[in-house]
Every structure is written in C-alpha cells, then in structure tokens.
Structure 1
Amino acid sequence: MSLSTFFVTYFTWILLTGYSNVSELIVGFFVSLVISMIFKKYYGIKFDKLFLVRFVKFVLIYLPVFIWEMIKANFDVAVRVLNPKLPINPGFVKLNTNLTKDSSKFALANSITLTPGTLTLDVKEDVLYVHWIDVKTTEEGEKKKYISEKFEKILKGVFE
C-alpha cells in the first residue's frame, strides 16, 4: 500500500463527503485503504517529488486544452445534427501513440472518447482504434493532428 495514495484518497473522501459523521470517516478510511492497495498493485502512480509539478501541468495546461477541444467538438457535432446536409464521413482510424505508460494511454483514450465526434474503441500496445464521425484524412500525421496530438503532447509531460 502506498501511504501517500491512501492520504490523498482519504483527504479527497473527506472533502467530498464532509466530516460531520464518524461513521462516514470510518467508511472513508476503509474505502481509501482498499483503493490505495488497488492502485499500488495495478497502477504505477507515484507521489514523488515531481508529483506537484505534474499535477499543476495537468490542471493549468491540460484541463484548459481539453475543455477547449471538447467545446469545439460539441459545436461541430451540434452543427452536423442541426444541418443534416453537411457531409459526414464516419469511419475507423488507427492512431499510433508515443506514450509508453498505461496510465497516459488510458488518459489519452478517455480524452478522445470524451470529445464528441470520436470514440476510442480499443487500445493495443501503442495503437488506439478510434471511430471518427468525419474522417478527414487517413495519413498518420494528419490523423494525429486532428484527434490526439494536442492531448498526447501534454499527457506525456504529465504522466511520463
């Protein structure tokens, strides 16, 4: 069990549920204990000296970029729904990623999926399979530019 993971999880539990009831604190303690054991076993997340720097990068750089890309994609999909005459070219694309850690690939896949118009179907080693509402190109560099490049650059600095 990672002690730092336990404290972060328990502190988050207290912030989200409040600490007015002793039974909630006890339940939170045991839930945090189990979660920290799972994280220790299955994920390589470490709370080292660079954790704060990576956290700040995630909050101040990645989240604004992600939110902006999500807003743009929402408008794009809304325009396509409201104007059915707009051509769409749905299809599946294969994206190669330079990310090496599972946690960074997981964050990239979720970022793509949470952005309307794209859906990550599978991740196998260094390849993501994505359904794209409007396949603009099949060239590798261009696909990445449209779908994952902005996310991948920042996530590399956060997770790796």
Structure 2
Amino acid sequence: MRTEQRWRVTRFFITSAVLYLTWLIFTASVEPFSLIAGAVGSIFVGSLTYDEFIASHEASLNSFMPKPLMLILYLFLLLYSLYASSFTLLGAVFHKRINPRIIHFRTRIKSDLGRMVLSNSITFTPGTITIDLNDDHLIVHWLFCNTSNSRAAGEQVKGRLEGLLRRVWQ
C-alpha cells in the first residue's frame, strides 16, 4: 500500500473513531442498538468527511497528533496565562489604562491544528480576540497595545504560547 493510500485510510479511521467517541459521549447508552447505530453512522459519515476532518496536506501524524507531555505543559501554561490576563484586565479597567488596537502578525506554527489552537488560546485569554486566521497570518483585537510595531505586538500577544505549541505539533 502506498503512503498516500495509507494516510487516507488512517485519516478515515481517526475521523470515524472521533465521531464514534462523540456518539458514545452524547448518547451515554450502551444498548446494542445504540452501539451498532453509532458505529454504522460514524463509519458512513467518516467515509464522507475524513478529507475535511484531517486535510490531505497535513500528511503526517506529527501535524495531527500532539505530543502528550508537551500538550499537558501547554495546558498548564494556558491556564496560567488565563489567570494572569484576567488580573491584568481587572487592574486596567480600574485604572483606565486600556489602549485597544487591531494588530496583524504571523505565526511560525506549521500545523493547521496548531494554528487553530493558538488562535483559540489567544481568544480565550482575556483582553484579546482573534478576528481572523488565514494560513499563518492572524488579526487580533488587543486591549493593552503599548507599541505601534506589529511584530513586537504580535510577540507580546503570542507570548510563550506559540513556542510551546510549536513543540506540541512539530
């Protein structure tokens, strides 16, 4: 079997497994009919949508499957960033030191999934909202902009999140 065909089959199985797991979580039923219906439905939908679930240009498991230890470290860093940004936002509101700006910057993360996680992590962090993610270009609304240089502002918004995410999905 060629590598391309192997990757197509792998994407199909991953998609079907995620769909079936989702089915099991939402139905919370272990009745035989429910299990069989979920399996058949997951396989059918997986066969139609595996190319949308995992894009063909993401042709390696490294770009889809995270490194577990790095992912756990990233989640702790994200949690810390959420709390730190919350306190920063609280202080800025009380002292009226808000300077909102729209900033444009690029990310060095190669994986589409990694870029999406970075984009959502920026939005989860209080004081920032990702407006657009297009390939490696992000547009973010940031409440605490203290520079007119897009690259410097981007580095402040991404912080350590980007560096660790690059290690999660190398």
Q: Which residue of 1 aligns with 2:78?
A: 66
Amino acid in structure 2 at the alignment position of 1:38: T
Percent of residue pairs identical: 27
Within 5 A, what are the aligned runs for 1:27-46? 27-30=37-40, 32-33=42-43, 34=45, 37-44=48-55
Within 5 A, what are the aligned runs for 1:79-98? 79-81=91-93, 83=94, 85-98=95-108
Give the Å deviation of 1:123.
1.8
Amino acid in structure 1 at the alignment position of 2:127: G
Within 5 A, what are the aligned runs for 1:142-157? 142-157=152-167
Cα distance in structure 1, aligned partners of 2:31 and 2:41: 16
Once structures 1 and 2 are overlaid, which stretch shifts more, 45-54 or 133-142?
45-54
> How large is the RMSD of aligned CA atoms in angstroms?
3.0
Whether the 8 Å contact between 2:100 and 2:142 is mirrored in structure 1 is: yes
Give per-residue Cα distances to partners, 1:88-146, cap 9 Å, x unaligned.
10111111111223222111111111111001111233221100011022334532332
Q: Which residue of 1 aligns with 2:7?
A: none
Whether the 8 Å contact between 2:118 and 2:161 is mirrored in structure 1 is: yes
Unaligned runs of at least 5 residues, structure 2: 1-10
Aligned CA distance change for structure 1 residues 69 and 49 (closer, same or farther; 3 Å): closer
Cα distance in structure 2, aligned partners of 1:92 and 1:49: 32
Matched residue count = 157
* TM-score normalised by structure 2 residue count: 0.73
Q: Which residue of 2 aligns with 1:118?
A: 128
* TM-score normalised by structure 1 residue count: 0.77
Aligned CA distance change for structure 1 residues 17 and 40 (closer, same or farther; 3 Å): same
Whether the 8 Å contact between 1:94 and 1:128 is mirrored in structure 2 is: yes
Aligned CA distance change for structure 1 residues 139 and 63 (closer, same or farther; 3 Å): same
Whether the 8 Å contact between 1:120 and 1:131 is mirrored in structure 2 is: yes
Once structures 1 and 2 are overlaid, which stretch shifts more, 70-79 or 89-98?
70-79
Amino acid in structure 2 at the alignment position of 1:64: F
